[in-house]
Amino acid sequence: MKRIAIIGAGASGLFLAKKWSGREGGEVYVFERSRQVGTKLRASGGGKCNLFNTSVLSACYNHPEFASKLLEKVSPQRLWHEFEEMGLQMVADEEGRVYPLSQFSQTVVDVLSANLEENIHFEMGYEVRKVFSQDGLWRINDYPVPFDNVVFASGTPANMIPRNRKDYNDYLKDFNITVNEFQPSLVGFVIKDYPKKLSGCRVKVIASLYQGEKLIHSEPGEVTFKDDGISGIVILNLSAYYNRLKDKSGCFVELNFLYANPDYDVQAHLRKYHSLRGLLHPKLNALYEREPFDVKKFKMEIEGLYDLAFAQVCHGGIALDEVDDRFALKKYPGIYVTGEMLDLDGICGGYNLFFAFASALLVAEG
Ligand SMILES: Cc1cc2nc3c(=O)[nH]c(=O)nc-3n(C[C@H](O)[C@H](O)[C@H](O)COP(=O)(O)OP(=O)(O)OC[C@H]3O[C@@H](n4cnc5c(N)ncnc54)[C@H](O)[C@@H]3O)c2cc1C
């Protein structure tokens, strides 16, 4: 009889438990720090849970080559089938984002955590602080049962309460592996000399990230002006590309407020109407009247990112060359890693949950 420990009952930990439920010859113990399972799953996709995307592109991850190899093994279609087999009905929107048909994230948590067989045991409110080997088996804290295998599925400190816990994943310290520092990703930008009068304004734009003259990434979407910076899905995506830059100097966001008609002749409009009030959001127009700016190239210099507590995911984590293609730690046989703890992060649209589930699927099969 094999005993397996899963550290964390989040997206990847729950998926694993579901896959191993009822499997003969294995007892599975899931250790979860908090009192509930699937906390981030519930929060995902604004409470609707964007499970994955029907066309996951490897280029949308920080390590495209690694993602591309993963996609050869687990396609979105395969994941769809896996969830369908679990009894989850899904629907994809026009941009390929897959949601539960119920449009409610709790449905996903329920499907993954309900009706598990007797070989799955949960230890709730149990924080793992130490993992060590003894007599050829793995031990967790002072838990009385030893384990043949351990799966690290404890995620990252992104969006955590209490905020910015410095001791997150502290149990990794006893392992001789490279863990790249966690940085907030899919998060807003704090802007230098921010025009506070725009605070509260929400507009559609084409947003572009530049470093000096170089265009790093551009896409259309809705931007929200906060008290000292900007947010919104399009900005979160830019933050993922910003994080990939080693040197972040000279970065700025350029907003084109004429998203629907970038060729519109603003000068002709001004000559005819003597104002941009018919063209811009009132707050932008008020700013323009005080201090005219290029409405197709509104530059905002990046001071930095909002902190981890506001981030959807973390950039950084266990270096990808520490694991083999089945997500086992090369230096520590018997230990596996899934999900966000690994240094792979993607853009919004289901990319991060896709990775959590796909990595768990491969571990489950291994
Ligand atoms: C607000 C928000 C919205 C999001 N929306 C989406 C979306 O729509 N689509 C998408 O693809 N991604 C989304 N994400 C990202 C996605 O939720 C995560 O990438 C995913 O949940 C990671 O799964 P995981 O299994 O690696 O970790 P998690 O789901 O974070 O699970 C880790 C679990 O481990 C537990 N844990 C931590 N430390 C310990 C310990 N020492 N001992 C025991 N237990 C421990 C934690 O309490 C947690 O339950 C969103 C994230 C946030 C915060």
What amino acid is encoded at 48 in this protein?
K
Instruction: Let me know: does 129 contact 170? Beta carbons within 8 Å.
Output: yes
pLDDT score of 167: 78
Q: What distance in Å separates the CA atoms of residue 165 and residue 22, rounded to the nearest whole number?
A: 36
What tens digit of pLDDT does each residue of 91-132 get? Answer: 999 999 999 999 999 999 999 999 999 999 999 999 999 999
What tens digit of pLDDT does each residue of 283-315 get? Answer: 999 999 999 999 999 999 999 999 999 999 999
Instruction: Let me know: does 315 contact 62? Beta carbons within 8 Å.
Output: yes
Tell me, using a 6 A CB cutoff, whether residue 32 lines ligand 1. yes
DSSP track, 249-317 = TTEEEEEES-TT-TT--HHHHHHHHSSSTTTS-HHHHHHHHHS---TT-EEEEEEEE--GGG-SEEEEE
What distance in angstroms lies between residue 356's CA and the mean position of ligand 1's atoms? 9
Please tell me whether residues 236 and 272 are part of one structural domain: yes
Please tell me whether residues 122 and 54 are part of one structural domain: yes
Compute the CA torsion angle 359, 341, 185, 110 (nearest 10 deg).
60
DSSP track, 4-27 = EEEE--SHHHHHHHHHHTT-TTEE
pLDDT score of 239: 98
SS3 351: helix
Please tell me whether residues 134 and 97 are part of one structural domain: yes
pLDDT score of 177: 98
Please tell me whether residues 202 and 283 are part of one structural domain: yes
Pocket test for ligand 1, best of 106, 112, 151, 154 (most atoms within 8 A of CB): 154
Tell me, using a 6 A CB cutoff, whether residue 123 lines ligand 1. no
What distance in angstroms lies between residue 49's CA and the mean position of ligand 1's atoms? 12
What tens digit of pLDDT does each residue of 224-233 get? Answer: 999 999 999 9
Backbone angles phi, psi at 266, to 5 degrees: -70, -40
pLDDT score of 350: 97
Tell me, using a 6 A CB cutoff, whether residue 350 lines ligand 1. yes
Check whether 204 has a pLDDT greater than 70: yes
Name the domain boundary from 306, 328, 349. Answer: 306
pLDDT score of 366: 85
Q: What distance in Å separates the CA atoms of residue 7 and residue 354, rounded to the nearest whole number?
A: 19
Please tell me whether residues 12 and 156 are part of one structural domain: yes
pLDDT score of 160: 79
Q: Residue 162: is the preceding peptide bond cis (ω within 30°)?
A: yes
Q: Atom 28 in ligand 1: which residue has the minimum CA distance?
A: 10
Tell me, using a 6 A CB cutoff, whether residue 8 lines ligand 1. yes
- What range defines the domain where residue 81 resides? 2-184+313-365
What tens digit of pLDDT does each residue of 338-361 get? Answer: 999 999 999 999 999 999 999 999
Instruction: Let me know: does 209 contact 238? Beta carbons within 8 Å.
Output: yes
Check whether 162 has a pLDDT greater than 70: no
Pocket test for ligand 1, best of 312, 338, 347 (most atoms within 8 A of CB): 312
Tell me, using a 6 A CB cutoff, whether residue 339 lines ligand 1. yes
Tell me, using a 6 A CB cutoff, whether residue 100 lines ligand 1. no
Could you tell me which residues come within 8 angstroms of residue 317 by beta carbon, excluding any fewer than 6 positions away? 156, 179, 180, 182, 340, 341, 342, 343, 344
Going 153 to 157 to 163 to 168, the CA torsion angle's sign is positive
Q: Atom 9 in ligand 1: which residue has the minimum CA distance?
A: 350
For the chain, what is the mean pLDDT? 96
Please tell me whether residues 283 and 356 are part of one structural domain: no
Name the domain boundary from 286, 306, 326. Answer: 306
Tell me, using a 6 A CB cutoff, whether residue 44 lines ligand 1. yes
Return the percentage of the chain with pLDDT > 70, whole number.
98
Return the percentage of the chain with pLDDT > 90, whole number.
95
Q: What CATH number does the domain containing 137 carry?
A: 3.50.50.60
Please tell me whether residues 301 and 320 are part of one structural domain: no
Tell me, using a 6 A CB cutoff, whether residue 345 lines ligand 1. no
Name the domain boundary from 271, 288, 306. Answer: 306
Chain center to CA of 277: 38
Please tell me whether residues 217 and 354 are part of one structural domain: no
Pick the atom of ligand 1 nearest to 353's CA. 11
The whole-number average pLDDT for the span 21-29 is 95
Partners of 251 in the β-ladder? 211
Please tell me whether residues 10 and 113 are part of one structural domain: yes
pLDDT score of 55: 95
Residue 272: Cβ within 10 Å count = 10
Q: Atom 53 in ligand 1: which residue has the minimum CA distance?
A: 312
Please tell me whether residues 142 and 210 are part of one structural domain: no
* Count of domains forming the chain: 2
Check whether 165 has a pLDDT greater than 70: no
Please tell me whether residues 218 and 244 are part of one structural domain: yes
pLDDT score of 201: 96
What distance in angstroms lies between residue 141's CA and the mean position of ligand 1's atoms? 22
Please tell me whether residues 54 and 201 are part of one structural domain: no
What distance in angstroms lies between residue 318's CA and the mean position of ligand 1's atoms? 15
DSSP track, 76-140 = HHHHHHHHHHHT--EEE-TT-EEEETT--HHHHHHHHHTT--TTEEEEET-----EEEETTEEEE
Instruction: Let me know: does 357 contact 14? Beta carbons within 8 Å.
Output: no
Residue 44: Cβ within 10 Å count = 23
Instruction: Let me know: does 306 contact 190? Beta carbons within 8 Å.
Output: yes
